[in-house]
Amino acid sequence: MANVAAAAPGPAPVAQAKRKAKRKRNLLQWVTESGAFKFFILACIIVNALMLGYDANFGPDNAYRDLIGQWNQIFLWIFTAELVLEFLAQGPRRYVRSGWNWFDVVIVAASWGAAVPGVTALRAFRVIRVFRLVSNVPQMQRVVEALMK
């Protein structure tokens, strides 16, 4: 009898892997849907917009130009990490169905294009990061959706 119990198969490896993946996705959903995460991203967007405005206002003579450039890179990595976390949390099917996710992807991709050294023509596109406020504030989303109808 002991041999029969010992020989009984445990949960299938595929089922275990699916449960583990679901737990990871649930954790990522919890993180990306938390108020703290949303506040952090919103704060990054606002601070980044203020820095871009300062940089645009004072131009090449800006004493903080290098520092602002470094912070722009940091913010770009933060926004890229946010996209990856959202993609993993929502899963590919759900992620690509949202127009707001596509909006964010286009803005972050354009920002990466503007970050390439020597591509000064695309630097103006950094300003479009401000529009990520729309995709991160539900009230602004409703206003834009109403205007589009």
Q: Is the pLDDT of residue 7 over 60?
A: no
* Average pLDDT for the chain: 81
- Which CATH number fits the domain that encloses residue 74? 1.20.120.350
Alpha helices in 59-122 (DSSP H): 65-90, 92-97, 99-115
User: Using CA atoms, how far apart are residues 114 and 70, in angstroms rounded to an integer?
Assistant: 14
Q: Is the pLDDT of residue 125 over 70?
A: no
What is the residue range of 52's domain? 16-148
pLDDT bracket for residue 142 (50, 70, 90): confident
Q: Is residue 3 part of a domain?
A: no
pLDDT confidence of residue 92: 93
Query: What is the three-class DSSP state of 51?
Result: helix
% of the chain with per-residue pLDDT over 90: 34
- Per-residue pLDDT, averaged over 36-53, amounts to 90
Q: Is residue 7 part of a domain?
A: no
Q: Is residue 11 part of a domain?
A: no
Cα 15 vs. chain centroid, distance in angstroms?
30
Q: Is residue 8 part of a domain?
A: no
pLDDT bracket for residue 39 (50, 70, 90): very high
Q: Is residue 104 part of a domain?
A: yes
Q: Is residue 52 part of a domain?
A: yes
pLDDT confidence of residue 141: 66
Q: Is residue 81 part of a domain?
A: yes
pLDDT confidence of residue 86: 96
Count: domains in the chain = 1
- Per-residue pLDDT, averaged over 93-98, amounts to 93
Q: Is residue 29 part of a domain?
A: yes
